Structure 1
Amino acid sequence: MDVLSDAVAAMRTGRPHSSRRDEYAPWGMRFDASDGAGFHVVLRGSAWLIPAEGRPVALGPGDVVFLAHGRGHALAGALDTPLAEIRLRADGTWPRLPSSARKSAPPDAVLLCGAYLLDRARAHPLLTELPEVVHLPARVGAHRSLRAAVELLGTELEESRPGSDTIVSSLLDTLLLYILRAWWLEGQRGSGHPTGWAAALADPAIAAALHAVHADPAHPWTVGELGTRAGLSRAAFARRFAALVGEPPLAYVTWWRMITAGRLLREDDMPLRLVAQRAGYTSEFAFAKAFKREYGVAPGQYRKRASQDPADGNGQAGLSL
């Protein structure tokens, strides 16, 4: 997997959900803070996004906003509209609109909204470095793949057909990657001076080393070997990696191995010795010691807790976006 896909997959838990909504003036919704990340797309009409902090953002047709940090926010047709508290059902679906809200005239706004449940305990910097609100305005010729995914998702939600459950879930995963790609690899590039992980991914040498680590975390990596992959001397590579990624190369390797192990324990029932091998440990005892140091619990206990978490079962419980 590439670094962006890997980072998202490691943080994601359960299944995402989404809904298409028709809104009639006056309308306004307030969403509580949650453990998830959410998005809103204006398919038709206009809306205001009102973040927990900062100025409201005017949204037009085709605009996409992504809220990575799960902070409360509001969405409304006008800034002076009273806001209704929106709470999802236990299964993560939207409450039905009252019948009085459905009119014969076209809706004032058509929205596509969705949410993802994330494991923030081991959040990857690719996501933690995102701003409070990622706003991707609609522009002719911009983010064509993202627009195509939005159109497909909107159609599936409007016209429920056989296979829609699987198609919608897959499209939501795809949409998340397109949103992040548009922000990191296209939006940041426009500034001419990428910073943080955007700079790390834009640097061919460091990106090559990161891809190598993510492709094979179990490999006994050394700074010298990673430097060779990057086409740099050992010392030059170590300096550049630490400057862009924020920590030394082998510290990142160890951290990513633990993230990989945590994901395997949550999502797979393979024996612990195989999880240890996938994480680069030849000794199950050494792996268990390192895992407990990182997570605070033994691998077996971590797996048991994950299996008992109702949010991990269907990805729906507790979401409020």
Structure 2
Amino acid sequence: MDPLADLLQGVRAHSAAFCHAILQPPWALRIADGARLALASALRGHAWIVPDHGEPVLLDTGDIAIVKGPDHYTVGDDPATAPDVIVRPGNRLTTLDGTDVTEALRLAPRTSGHSPDGSTTVASGTYQVDGEVSDRLLNVLPDIVVVRRSDGPAPVMDLLAQEVGGEGPGQQIVLDRLLDLALIATLRAWFARPEAHAPGWYLAQGDPLIGPALRLIHDAPAHPWTVASMAGKVGASRATFARRFADLVGEPPLTYLTGWRIALAADLLRRSDLTIDSVARQVGYANAFALSVAFKRVRGVSPSQHRTGVTVNGGLTIHHRQPTVDA
């Protein structure tokens, strides 16, 4: 696989929390589902995305936004409109005082609103992303990415609009896959823009020397790679390969390899019951000791400390950040 494909493996929609909202101004929704990643598009009309910290962003018809969480934010017809509905995990809708209005606002399966005649339609899907591998993708994205209809995956969003109200066989799988396609196409469209400042590993995928080398690393991270062996595989001298890799990716080949191995190990430690020795061998280290040395050098904690879900810094135990809580 290429780096983007690997990073997206943990950001796939599986029974995605997909929502189709039909709205009439004035309207505003407080998004408090804690999702790490959300994709939204104004299929009809427009919508403003209003973060708690930062400038509001306008979505015109057909535009697509990718929003990083888990912090909460507001979506409305105008940045000044106060929300009267809170969107909670699982697309559960409540009033500001906590009264559940999910069924009261349901117009059809996966469709909510006060009336089917509203002038604005917003489609969205949320991803409960976790894992160090996926974080390598999220960490290079701004809090809000917007791709205009003229630059984005319009055909995919048109298909989403057609499918969202249906109840045919395999409907959820269809929506999941369309949501995945929309996310991938939107990311590719975003990274193609100069202002996106795409990471080196993304830009380097198109290079005739470094692109194949990145795929070698991602296809076989446990292989005993050296700079010389990678250079030989792509038909370059060791010095030329090392220099070009560092120039394009932004770090030396073995540093990139180590970072990828440690990210894979971090996810295996959290998601499996494998021993540290087994994890080490799966990602290219001879034994648990070798992995522990590398893991602590890169992350500042041991594999066993990482597995417990805390970070130790100067003797203090710091729990991972939790999303803010709305009433």
Q: TM-score, normalised by structure 1?
A: 0.76
The number of aligned residues is 299
- Checking the alignment, whether the CA contact within 8 Å between 2:41 and 2:122 is kept in structure 1 is yes
Mapped to 2, the partners of 1:148 and 1:7 lie a distance apart of 24
- Does 1:279 pair with 2:283? yes
| Residue among 240, 251, 260 paired with 1:247 | 251
Mapped to 2, the partners of 1:233 and 1:27 lie a distance apart of 61
- Does 1:93 pair with 2:91? yes
Residues 55/97 of structure 1: CA separation in 2 closer, same or farther (3 Å cut): farther
Mapped to 2, the partners of 1:51 and 1:71 lie a distance apart of 9
Q: For residues 3-40 of structure 1, give each alpha carbon's deviation from its aligned partner in whole angstroms, at most 9, with x where no partner exists.
A: 10101225679764221111122101233484601121
- Checking the alignment, whether the CA contact within 8 Å between 2:132 and 2:267 is kept in structure 1 is no
Runs of 5+ consecutive residues of structure 1 not aligned to the other structure: 306-317
Quote how far apart the aligned CAs of 1:276 are.
Answer: 3.3
Q: Secondary structure, in 3 states, of the residue corresponding to 1:242?
A: helix
- Does 1:183 pair with 2:195? no
Mapped to 2, the partners of 1:299 and 1:160 lie a distance apart of 46
What residue in structure 1 maps to residue 122 of structure 2?
A: 111
Mapped to 2, the partners of 1:88 and 1:193 lie a distance apart of 33
Does 1 or 2 have the higher relative contact order (CA < 8 Å, sep 6+)?
1
Percent identity of paired positions between Structure 1 and Structure 2 = 33
Mapped to 2, the partners of 1:16 and 1:10 lie a distance apart of 13
Q: For residues 143-195 of structure 1, give each alpha carbon's deviation from its aligned partner in whole angstroms, at most 9, with x where no partner exists.
A: 4xx333323333443112332233333333333222212222x334xx79966
Q: For residues 270-310 of structure 1, give each alpha carbon's deviation from its aligned partner in whole angstroms, at most 9, with x where no partner exists.
A: 676654333113435534554566563546983x87xxxxx
Amino acid at match of 1:36: R
- 1:150-229 pair list within 5 angstroms: 150-184=157-191, 186-188=192-194, 196-229=200-233
| Residue among 262, 265, 270 paired with 1:261 | 265
- Checking the alignment, whether the CA contact within 8 Å between 2:63 and 2:149 is kept in structure 1 is yes
Amino acid at match of 1:4: L
What residue in structure 1 maps to residue 99 of structure 2?
A: none
Mapped to 2, the partners of 1:166 and 1:33 lie a distance apart of 22
Mapped to 1, the partners of 2:17 and 2:67 lie a distance apart of 15
Mapped to 1, the partners of 2:8 and 2:58 lie a distance apart of 28
Quote how far apart the aligned CAs of 1:198 are.
Answer: 4.2
Q: Secondary structure, in 3 states, of the residue corresponding to 2:161?
A: helix
Amino acid at match of 2:147: L
Q: Greater shift after overlay, 107-116 or 123-132? A: 123-132
- Checking the alignment, whether the CA contact within 8 Å between 1:35 and 1:120 is kept in structure 2 is no
Q: For residues 24-74 of structure 1, give each alpha carbon's deviation from its aligned partner in whole angstroms, at most 9, with x where no partner exists.
A: 221012334846011211111122222344433322221101113544332
What residue in structure 2 maps to residue 136 of structure 1?
A: 147
Amino acid at match of 2:193: G
- Does 1:23 pair with 2:16? no
> How big is the alpha-carbon RMSD for the aligned residues of Structure 1 and Structure 2?
3.7
| Residue among 98, 102, 108 paired with 2:114 | 102
Higher-helix-fraction structure = 1
Quote how far apart the aligned CAs of 1:233 are.
Answer: 2.9
Q: Secondary structure, in 3 states, of the residue corresponding to 1:118?
A: coil
What residue in structure 2 maps to residue 235 of structure 1?
A: 239
Mapped to 1, the partners of 2:33 and 2:200 lie a distance apart of 26
Residues 194/11 of structure 1: CA separation in 2 closer, same or farther (3 Å cut): closer
Q: TM-score, normalised by structure 2?
A: 0.75
